[in-house]
Structure 1
Amino acid sequence: MRTLRGICVGAGYFARFHLDAWRRMEGVEIAAICDTNPAAAKAMASEFEVKQTYTSLEEALSSEQVDFVDIITPPASHLRLIQSVVPYGLPVICQKPLAPDLHTAEQLVRLADKAGIRLMVHENFRFQPWHRAVKSLLESGAIGDNLYSISCRTRMGDGWGPDAYLARQPYFRDMPRFLIQETGVHFIDTFRYLAGEIDEVYCTTRRLNQAIQGEDAVHLLVRFANGATGTWDANRYNESLSTNPRYTFGSFQVEGSNGTIWINEDGEITLARLGETPKRHEYQPSQVGFAGDCVLSTQQHFIDCLHSGRPFETNGSDYLINLEIVEAAYDSSRSNRPQRVEHTIHDHRQIIDLSIPVTNTLPGAAISECKSVERDGWNATTISLYSHCGTHMDAPKHFLTSGQTIDQMSLATFVGSAKVIDLTPVAPRELLTVERLAASSIQVEPGDRILLRTDWHKHLGSPGYRNELPRISVELARWLVQKQVALVGVEPPSVADVNNLEELTEVHRILLGGNVVIVEGLANLDQITTQEVEFIALPLRVENGDGCPVRAIAIQPYSKANLR
């Protein structure tokens, strides 16, 4: 993959963690640092070997050829900086809080969406290694199928003196809303990551240090949609026994129907199932960078998603949910009563890209320059595509002499609800049978679109992706036709063994002759968290076409599910 070049905006305290992470990542280069303080920008550039500095983002963008922008400035500046990126349409990773208030954050997200800017919020707490480990434990059922509670106690001890925060982040002192807005939003996002959506909050706040403007002590109680509760007991005034209270930012306890998980302030995880002796969960959290090197993990996720086209975990629309909860917490503190979180201000849909990116490395695809701004006045490329490359759809004509062509097929079949059947794990060359589908709890009915999850897209780029693919058996193909399935989508590049012409032909003829639309080469089905999604896969209107690459997507509501 080619190296991606970025601009970092901001040379303050936390920018050092960003730049350190970027420097340690392969395939990333920071081309320039921007800051209104030129001395600060030059000092940071010298420390991290960045070649160029600017005092404005506008100047940097007009001077540098880059692939993304990293915004590391106080929240009041974020909307203006996003406005500067709009003419360029570049992806942005932006530090939290996203804006000083919910209304401004909504403006920012709408602006980015309208401009086609891929926006990720640098919400790094969920990327701390202990939270990723606990998430895996929960999903594996380590403490049962039902989550009962999450609790966290945070004591920072960095805000008790008259000079509190001056040495590191002095703007903290002037924030009228401080601890929930600045720190609590991390825990709100982490709670949602671990336990799902929050429907109700009750909150009390206090200001312990009179030298600052906002609250620095909070008791926050949340009720999750699945019935579990969460508690955050926090202040930045009193001290912790930990030698580094900024490593985990607190101790956690997660309780479920079959046990408890603890995280201590050193990042150690202890697991105890009911009636069993507690034992240490073995993993190796990093001691490098910030808080388990979560900044690097966050930024790596950003880069990985830019390469793959996958959605960011902490995209702008999803992050607005966190800010709704922040507003509800402040409302609760003012009114001294619980507040419902209505989730009415933004689109609750999550769009998951199920398509393989079309690049020059994709077999059957070629992209070359046709026009350039310098030579012709505009950029344009010539794209050559094999009709069955990447994520694609087969028309009956592909294997049937008198079969329909791609332009004759009904668009209605390409759009609608689809059932996701999880067949993982699958073995190389595994023959998928009726029994394998029957083991799923999902009932297949006439007219269904079904997507078979095998996670085979993870083999893309290896010889096994094509030569060892799991495939649909002849028996299963006939069963799908008998069930009158409208569409079947698979992750391998074919529904049958591409190295066995007899099998390849028979399975395709059964499905296509039985009016089952075939979509092959899907990706990212592992990101779908519901058993049913809205599925869209539209081919080009190619006259007499035997097939065509498609842009396949799944649309699902943001998950309010309990532990899976």
Structure 2
Amino acid sequence: MCVPGCREELERHFSRRGLLTRLAAAGAAGAVATMPGPAEAVPPRPKQIRVRRFVDLTHTLDPRFPTWDGHPGIELKKVASVETDGFNIFEWNLAEHSGTHIDAPFHISATGQTVELIPVEKLVVPLAVVDIAHKAESEPDYRLNIYDILEWERIHGRLRRGSCVAMYSGWGRHIGTPRYRNRDDKGVMRFPGFHAEAAEFLARERDAAGLAVDTLSLDHGSSKNFRVHKVWLGSGRWGLECVANLHDVPPRGATLVVGAPKVRGASGGPCRLIALV
């Protein structure tokens, strides 16, 4: 039995409680919907690269640029002009390994990776510059060795995994002169490069992604067996030759962007190199 007014009070009570229950349920559902899922489901924040300046590490390629065999690396033939056709077009006769260029593993191995198959994530890497210019000045056959790398690490810290390790020999200042190829009286070229043991060390102990030189070859000029090419490219890694302006990049801290050509089946090719400093 209910006293007068009891029924109305009970209806108000249960009606209010139902409303509160529904609101609480809705709030809980909303909270669940907005809660982050498991850690692996949250996408990682992209790493930010702070850039103060850009350094072009690429020489301008023209028929006069020095090459390994002395023949022009590129020849351009004009086949259309603005005056007669309304637009300019050139045909290029291009040797793959001319100017500032990349060597793909296929350059030295029949089963190696061709240039278009190099993953893009391996073409944007930390850049380490090892300065041997003072040694190369007095010894053109100098080869960057393990001790040079360890001395660099003593000063700048351990090389980052996946880096491109660049040899700065100062040889770029000889572009446009016979000194760049530096042929002796027997026709043998004499310029610095990497030592094969250093290449093995960087591949095995530091897991570097690439080598770079400011000369015509990863190997020193008088090499007869191209051991560095075989060791380095044979391990599935890439190399860069005729790199410019390494003097304008700090020993550590820059990021290298390799604009490699995407040509099916190619063993390498001219590329645009940019250092983000």
The CA deviation at 1:419 is: 1.9
Higher strand share: 1
What is the aligned partner in structure 2 of residue 513 from structure 1? Answer: 234
1:379 paired with 2:106, answer no
Q: Which runs of structure 2 are paired with 1:305-344 in the superposition (5 Å)?
A: none
What is the aligned partner in structure 2 of residue 342 from structure 1? Answer: none
TM-score, length-scaled by structure 2: 0.70
Unaligned runs of 5+ in 1: 1-346, 557-564
Q: Distance in 2 between matches of 1:508 and 1:529?
A: 26
Given the alignment, which residue of 158, 162, 168 partners 1:453?
Answer: 168
Q: Which runs of structure 2 are paired with 1:36-115 in the superposition (5 Å)?
A: none
1:527 paired with 2:248, answer yes
Given the alignment, which residue of 59, 65, 73 partners 1:364?
Answer: 73
1:534 to 1:446, Cα distance in 2 relative to 1, 3 A: closer
Given the alignment, which residue of 98, 102, 109 partners 1:400?
Answer: 109
Q: Secondary structure at the match of 2:219?
A: coil
Q: Which runs of structure 2 are paired with 1:351-500 in the superposition (5 Å)?
A: 351-362=54-65, 363-425=72-134, 426=136, 427-440=139-152, 441-442=155-156, 443-466=158-181, 467-482=189-204, 483-500=206-223
Q: Distance in 2 between matches of 1:357 and 1:379?
A: 20
Q: Secondary structure at the match of 1:349?
A: coil
Q: Secondary structure at the match of 1:403?
A: coil
The CA deviation at 1:530 is: 5.7
1:357 to 1:446, Cα distance in 2 relative to 1, 3 A: same
What is the aligned partner in structure 1 of residue 257 from structure 2? Answer: 536
1:300-350 superposed Cα distances (whole Å, 9 cap, x missing partner): xxxxxxxxxxxxxxxxxxxxxxxxxxxxxxxxxxxxxxxxxxxxxxx9631
CA RMSD in angstroms comes to: 1.8
Q: Which runs of structure 2 are paired with 1:234-249 in the superposition (5 Å)?
A: none
Q: Distance in 1 between matches of 2:55 and 2:75?
A: 25
Q: Distance in 2 between matches of 1:534 and 1:501?
A: 33
The CA deviation at 1:547 is: 0.7
Contact 1:406 1:542 in 2 (8 A): yes
Contact 2:77 2:92 in 1 (8 A): yes
The CA deviation at 1:468 is: 1.9
Q: 518-527 vs 451-460, which deviates more?
A: 451-460
1:466-497 superposed Cα distances (whole Å, 9 cap, x missing partner): 32210111211211111211111111111113
Counterpart residue type for residue 465 of structure 1 = Y
Q: Distance in 1 between matches of 2:122 and 2:77?
A: 33
Q: Distance in 2 between matches of 1:470 and 1:448?
A: 21
1:393-435 superposed Cα distances (whole Å, 9 cap, x missing partner): 1111111111111111111111132222222222311122111
The CA deviation at 1:387 is: 0.5
What is the aligned partner in structure 2 of residue 501 from structure 1? Answer: 224
1:552 to 1:348, Cα distance in 2 relative to 1, 3 A: closer
Q: Distance in 2 between matches of 1:499 and 1:348?
A: 39
Contact 1:421 1:531 in 2 (8 A): no
The CA deviation at 1:438 is: 1.8
Q: Distance in 1 between matches of 2:179 and 2:141?
A: 9
Counterpart residue type for residue 248 of structure 2 = Q
Unaligned runs of 5+ in 2: 1-49, 66-71, 182-188
Q: Distance in 2 between matches of 1:451 and 1:422?
A: 9
RCO comparison, higher one (Cα < 8 Å, 6+): 2
Q: Secondary structure at the match of 1:465?
A: coil
Identity %: 27
1:29-77 superposed Cα distances (whole Å, 9 cap, x missing partner): xxxxxxxxxxxxxxxxxxxxxxxxxxxxxxxxxxxxxxxxxxxxxxxxx
Counterpart residue type for residue 147 of structure 2 = E
Aligned residues: 208
The CA deviation at 1:500 is: 3.2
What is the aligned partner in structure 1 of residue 185 from structure 2? Answer: none
Q: 438-447 vs 375-384, which deviates more?
A: 438-447
